[in-house]
A and B are shown apart, each in its own frame.
Chain A
């Protein structure tokens, strides 16, 4: 399966792709559910108006791929406690700032006087800690395998230079165990659009066992709407031919074997551990914790953040959305009580959340 040459315009490629999709969907001949497990794909599907371009028997379902959305309520509440620690500067990716806790958010804590800074890169947190050694800096480390190798590199650099005033709240997640959990949780999925930039790191081989076990094709897909259409087309062609396996649409960046150096860096700082996800609950071996030799960077231990028994956000069905059990409009709060201006759940907060994408793009 090859992509058309890129000299062709996007409009022409889109037209050809829709014809290819229609043929493949016809050959499949039944209703199929295709899940994307990356918030950036969710956003691209909305932005490109892809739902309207697909044949009627192809349903797109969003999965647990937005890092902010899958962060458990327990972690959110504990991050808020950490942010209130006197004298501490908390650095966070911007997506986290408005995620609601039961009684607060990082944004509200900042208005109330907490020193919370939005950073584009974990390198900025390290630079701040080194520039101002008397300042205590904690970084809220969320994200999938695209992001965690960079955080690992920062930790290894901090360790190498004996930086004593930096810590992290480690809440990284691994995507493949979550895909297993979705399937085991009762969502019928016929194909996965797998995340392009996670796949850059872990390689397309990482999905092969899942593909075999559940007889489901997987296609690592790029992020422009035409990429996503092509990825879905490849999945439908696999289904039509009864093929499973892990394939790559996003050959511009995803290489066989992934980025070993990034993965090795990750495993020098972190070890695989059980993790708690919003909606999916505890999933074995689905997260990362600091390796013993780096545990002095653990913000939870350093600032004695207590465990907090999480309370569900009242009425919020983000958990069912993340499991692919319902589409956002099926939540009674969608567009009524829960909007991007006044979000109740994290899937409405993050621009990559499936509720926010549905709200904005329909």
Chain B
């Protein structure tokens, strides 16, 4: 249940945001992180951004998801 996944902020409205996650757009609450900007990567858990991520760190996690999916035929659970 502690799953959290990298997502990128596409729209900001105060503490509310739209984030993109593998092509899907989701609502995110940004009240738990500081100084979020459009284009930032965040770690999304249960509708909340719980940390900001460096783009290369987000990319690495997504790359691991993808490779693991290829290796096992398993879809990473979100």
Is B one of A's binding partners? yes
Interface string of B49-76 (1 = CB under 8 A from A): 0110110011011011101100110100
Among A26-34, A115-123, A241-249, the stretch in contact with B: A115-123
Residues A197 and B71 in contact, CB atoms below 8 Å apart: no
Residues A149 and B48 in contact, CB atoms below 8 Å apart: yes
* Given known A38-B2, A95-B1, A121-B47, contact A9–B32 (CB-CB < 8 A): no
Q: How far is the CB of B42 from chain A (nearest CB, A)?
A: 10
Among A163-171, A259-267, A280-288, A322-330, the stretch in contact with B: A259-267
Contact pick for B1, options A143, A196, A227, A262, CB 8 Å = A143
Q: How far is the CB of B7 from chain A (nearest CB, A)?
A: 13
Q: In the bound complex, how far is the Cα of B72 from the Cα of A47, in angstroms?
A: 8
Residues A39 and B2 in contact, CB atoms below 8 Å apart: yes
Residues B4 and A146 in contact, CB atoms below 8 Å apart: yes
Residues A146 and B2 in contact, CB atoms below 8 Å apart: yes
Chain A residues with CB below 8 A from B61, complex form: 222, 224, 252-253
Residues B1 and A149 in contact, CB atoms below 8 Å apart: no
Residues A123 and B27 in contact, CB atoms below 8 Å apart: yes
Q: How far is the CB of B52 from chain A (nearest CB, A)?
A: 9
CB of A93 closer than 8 Å to a CB of B: yes
Residues B1 and A147 in contact, CB atoms below 8 Å apart: yes
* Given known A10-B64, A121-B47, A123-B27, contact A259–B2 (CB-CB < 8 A): no
Q: In the bound complex, how far is the Cα of B28 from the Cα of A124, in angstroms?
A: 11
Residues B2 and A144 in contact, CB atoms below 8 Å apart: yes
* Given known A150-B47, A259-B50, A262-B32, contact A195–B2 (CB-CB < 8 A): yes
The total of chain A residues at the interface (CB under 8 A) is 52
CB of A226 closer than 8 Å to a CB of B: yes
Q: How far is the CB of B75 from chain A (nearest CB, A)?
A: 11
Contact pick for B47, options A66, A123, A146, A350, CB 8 Å = A123
Within 8 A of B (CB), among A53-86: 66-68
The tally of CB-CB contacts under 8 A between chains A and B is: 125
* Given known A227-B64, A252-B57, A265-B31, contact A153–B2 (CB-CB < 8 A): no
Interface string of A10-46 (1 = CB under 8 A from B): 1100000000000000000000000000111001000
Determine chain B's interface SS by DSSP, over half rule: mixed
Interface string of A130-163 (1 = CB under 8 A from B): 0000000000001110110110010001000000
* Given known A222-B61, A225-B68, contact A201–B50 (CB-CB < 8 A): yes
* Given known A123-B27, A253-B51, contact A150–B1 (CB-CB < 8 A): no
* Given known A47-B72, A227-B64, A253-B57, contact A197–B50 (CB-CB < 8 A): yes
Residues A197 and B53 in contact, CB atoms below 8 Å apart: no
Q: B residues engaging A (CB < 8 A)?
A: 1-4, 27, 29, 31-34, 43, 45-48, 50-51, 53-54, 57-58, 60-61, 63-65, 67-68, 71-72, 74, 77
- 19 A-B pairs besides A123-B29, A224-B61, A259-B51 with CB distance below 8 A are A6-B60, A66-B1, A123-B27, A123-B48, A146-B4, A146-B46, A147-B45, A150-B29, A153-B31, A200-B50, A200-B51, A252-B53, A259-B32, A259-B33, A261-B34, A262-B50, A265-B31, A351-B77, A352-B1
Q: A residues engaging B (CB < 8 A)?
A: 6, 9-11, 38-40, 43, 47-48, 66-68, 93, 95, 120-124, 142-144, 146-147, 149-150, 153, 157, 195-198, 200-201, 222-227, 251-253, 255, 259, 261-262, 265, 350-352
Some 8 contacts from A to B, beta carbons below 8 A apart, are: A67-B1, A120-B46, A121-B48, A143-B2, A146-B1, A146-B46, A150-B29, A195-B2
